[in-house]
Chain A
Amino acid sequence: HYFRYDEHVSLCLEKLSSSKDKSKAVLQQKYVRCSVRAQIRHLRRVLCHRLGLPVQHVQILFDNEPLPDHMTMKQLWLSRWFGKPAPLLLHYSIKDKRR
């Protein structure tokens, strides 16, 4: 695949807070860069790893809409952020474990 030679996208990941969210997990290093071929599922997995959470508990959203796991960063950029300056702003939400 040789992803390391791919073009990059720059993202900014902000936590979406809800009153039900009791988790204190917040990503300190919220500026993220990766390949245009990376998918939402890869981003989700790497985010969970950094937050120390199981992968089912984190959702990635754009404009309050959850993004499909197989969407690539290129598809995301061209459909939601074309012509806008970097970084692309994404949100993540953490599900309460008891729900």
Chain B
Amino acid sequence: QEEEEQEADNFMFEFSDKPLLPSYNLQVSVSRGPCNWFLFSDVLKRLKLSSRIFQARFPHLEVATLPWAEFQRQVSLSQVLVQEEVPANPEQAPGTAETVELVHYEPELLQLLGSAVEYQAWSS
């Protein structure tokens, strides 16, 4: 727990030899501040896994759902994202909810994706 708190106070740097999957800073519920997420579909594509296998193998990695309109509204507020980069609403079968599935940005997931993680203290 203490170690986790220390890490929260440090900058995390992610390094990869492949172009990075986009991450999004989103507030997924009112009871929780904004934090970083990947699109679940991006992660599954890169890992070549199905949603079912991913969630069976990594049950502790958090998956969340957000309405598309809300996802797009929050993403449009970012000053460091270009709107053309924001994924468009995919074709949805009639009757299905228009939602986006997200997976929480955290060191263990980054390592699964082949990235290295390094910390750097703010004050050092």
Contacts and interface: CB of A to CB of B under 8 A. Distances in A.
Identify whether the interface residues of A are mostly helix, strand, loop, or mixed: mixed
A74 interface: yes
Interface residues of B, number: 34
A85 interface: yes
A93 interface: no
A5 to B, nearest CB: 5
Given A4-B7, A4-B8, A50 B122 contact: no
B34 interface: yes
Contacts of B81: 86
B16 A29 contact: yes
Given A50-B15, A77-B80, A2 B8 contact: yes
Max chain B C-beta neighbours (<10 A), residue from A6, A10, A45: A10
A77 B80 CA distance: 7
A28 B7 CA distance: 25
B70 interface: no
Interface string A65-95: 0000000001001100011111100000000
Category for how many chain A residues contact B: 35 or more
Given A8-B23, A8-B36, 7 more contacts: A1-B9, A3-B10, A5-B35, A46-B13, A46-B120, A85-B85, A86-B81
Interface of B: 7-20, 22-23, 25, 33-36, 78-82, 84-85, 115-116, 118, 120, 122, 124
A43 B13 contact: yes
Contacts of A82: 79
Given A34-B13, A77-B80, A82-B79, A3 B122 contact: yes
B11 A74 contact: no
Contacts of A2: 8-9
A39 to B, nearest CB: 9
A7 B9 contact: no
